[in-house]
Structure 1
Amino acid sequence: MIRVAACQYKIELFEQWDDYAEHLTALCEDAAAEGAQLLLLPEYAGLVLSGQLGRDREDLAATLSGIQPLVPRWHALCAELARSLGVYLQPGSLPVRDADGAYRNRAWLFGPQGELGHQDKLMMTRFEREEWSVVKGSGLEVFDTPLGRLGIQICYDNEFPIASRRLAEAGVELVLAPSCTDTEAGFYRVRTGARARALENQFAVLMAPTVGEAPWSPALDVNLGRAGLYVPSDRGMPASGIVAESATLSPPRSQWLIEDIDLDAVRRVREQGQVFTRRDWVEQFEPGQLTLRSAKAAPH
């Protein structure tokens, strides 16, 4: 049994580093005080750093370049929080400029022992591709921890089955799904994808969204969502596949969804469940196993 925490994270304006660092520290301390061993913040949570850019925070391109000098300091803060609190921390994502000059949406995972690695977003939304020039990453990372084998699928990535399938084949038991959506429809698309991936692969998915309005940021201006923990609908699991979801708050504020989950129980679904969706995919839907036939036209 492990205790996980997903933050329904309100985007706030912090114009000074010390104010931001105090905010993130207090937030993580609250979850750790409740016994959480794994903390998840949403996609682009790190972009709150742009509040420190003055007028440049109002420009998309200036936001990307302006936060880069702050990234090493942010990285060090997150690593220290994971170490000092003795937790595994996925502090959301932020755009990082790589050596090739391109920006990629990157999510690091930190543990008590330091950085474990990172996962870049693989599928770009229209906003990222057409307006912001944030490009896709490549490849999948698997994180072995004492809590279980973890993977990360950032927001839109959860709406596509193949990458999650590869994580399942690599033995991932819990997928972390940081998200940032500006419409109710967008939230439901990611939520539906996360639940579908849990059903198909018979693993757990933990989702953390951004909420609230940030008129000072053209990238984070409107945010809607609910944190959630999802599992396959099967023996020993909630019939709906929904372990828990956070409440919608008005006005929105940051809150943790903290839940216990037994990954051994989820594993037993793959071995003793009413259905074997994870196994049956291989038997029926691997390339070459399913042929497509054209129906004959009905006679007149």
Structure 2
Amino acid sequence: MIRLAACQYAIDHWPSWAAYATHLTELCETAAAQGAQVLLLPEYAGLVLSAQLPAAQCADLHASLAGIQPLVPRWRALCEQLARRLGVYLQPGSLPVLDDDGRYRNRAWLFGPDGELGHQDKLIMTRFEREVWGVHGGREGLRSFDTAFGRVGILVCYDNEFPLLARTLAEQGADLILAPSCTDTEAGYYRVRIGAQARALENQVAVLQSATVGRANWSAALDENIGRAGLYVPPDYGQPANGVVAESTELCPASSQWLFADLELAALRRVRDEGQVFTRRDWPLQWEVL
């Protein structure tokens, strides 16, 4: 049994590094104190670093991306230090990173009790990212990460809406997919949420979603945020009939809130061998009947 924590993360204004570091530290300590072993923050949670920039730069979409780049190494070091000290696996959301080819990519790192495990870039960009921001999709494909309890994959927001991406992670042996998301409408939230639940059903894995919430008029990138946190599994023997292990009740809380959920991985794995259906095993049959 592992305890998971997914954050409905309020986009608050932290005007200095000290204020931000205190905020992230206290947030992670709160989750760890409740026994959480995996902590998930949402897509673009790292963009709150832009609150430390001058107001004019923060209000400029492209200037804000450039402005946070010097803070990224310090942010990664803080996340690694928290994961090591608290003995947890921390996926602190994502942020745009200027890659070595001069292009921005939406990158999500994973940290563990032994340090940084690596990163996963978002692969498929939304229209806003592609057409307005100029953020590009990842060029390294999908990877999974070994942890003390099993293999974990990351699908960033929109990537959860594409079945073959989750299938790739399942074939790599992932039992849990982390789904950090950032959506500015209720419809956007539901697109990712429905995708996450469908991916859990198809691959007989667990999918943990985290979302940004609240208004941030000071940010050109994160002005409005709507979403819930949730843990989704295949509806089958030993699992909830609707596939929802836990889900935030409030769509847009005023402050950051953790959703805690316990996941019994042994029971989840049994579904693949003893379930009512074998969607994971029967996946290749689609190609035989088409």
Matches of 2:38 and 2:251, distance apart in 1: 23
Secondary structure, in 3 states, of the residue corresponding to 1:280? coil
* CA–CA separation in structure 2 for the residues paired with 1:189 and 1:232: 18
Contact 2:226 2:251 in 1 (8 A): no
Give me the whole-angstrom Cα distance separating, in 1, the residues matched to 2:230 and 2:60.
32
Matched residue type, 2:100 = A
Q: Match for residue 259 of structure 1?
A: 261
Residue 285 of structure 1: CA displacement? 2.1
Aligned to 2:232: 230
- The letter of the residue matching 2:175 is E
Residues 250, 174 of structure 1: CA spacing in aligned structure 2 closer, same or farther, 3 A cutoff? Answer: closer
User: Residue type matched to 2:107 in 1?
Assistant: R
Residues in 1 aligned to 2:223 and 2:262: alpha-carbon distance in whole angstroms: 33
Shift of 1:98: 0.7
Give the 3-state SS of the residue equivalent to 1:209 in structure 2. strand
Q: Is the 8 A contact 2:84 2:112 kept in 1?
A: yes
Structure 1 residue aligned with 2:51: 51
> Aligned to 1:277, what secondary structure does the other structure show?
coil
Matches within 5 A, 1:41-190: 41-54=41-54, 55-138=56-139, 139-190=141-192
What SS does the aligned partner of 2:282 have?
Answer: helix
TM-score (norm 1): 0.95
Runs of 5+ consecutive residues of structure 1 not aligned to the other structure = 292-300
Q: Deviations over 1:180-216 (max 9, x none)?
A: 0000000000000000000000000000000000001
Give 1 or 2 for the bigger CA radius of gyration: 1
Aligned 8 A contact 2:92 2:110 in 1: yes
Aligned to 1:220: 222
Q: Residue type of the partner of 1:268?
A: R
Answer whether contact 2:182 2:211 (CA < 8 A) is retained. yes
Alignment TM-score, normalising by the size of structure 2: 0.98
In 2, Cα distance between the equivalents of 1:157 and 1:260? 25
Measure how far apart 1:250 and its partner are. 6.2
Q: Distance in 2 between matches of 1:140 and 1:12?
A: 31
Q: Say how many residue pairs are matched.
A: 288
Greater Cα shift, 140-149 or 150-159: 140-149
Q: Which amino acid aligns with 1:96?
A: V
Q: 1:201 aligns with which of 200, 203, 207?
A: 203
Q: Quick check: 1:39 aligned with 2:39?
A: yes
Q: Deviations over 1:4-59 (max 9, x none)?
A: 10001000001100000000000000000001011000000000000001120100
Instruction: Give unmatched runs, 5+ long, in structure 2.
Output: none
Q: CA deviation at 1:290?
A: 3.5
Distance 1:95 1:142 in 2: 20
The Cα RMSD (Å) is: 0.9
- The percentage of aligned residue pairs carrying the same residue is 69
* CA distance in structure 2 between the partners assigned to 1:67 and 1:152 by the alignment: 23
Q: Find runs of 4+ consecutive structure 1 residues off by over 3 angstroms.
A: none
Q: How far apart, in 2, do the equivalents of 1:60 and 1:250 lie?
A: 24
Which amino acid in the other structure matches residue 172 of structure 1?
A: A
Q: How big is the shift at 1:249?
A: 6.1
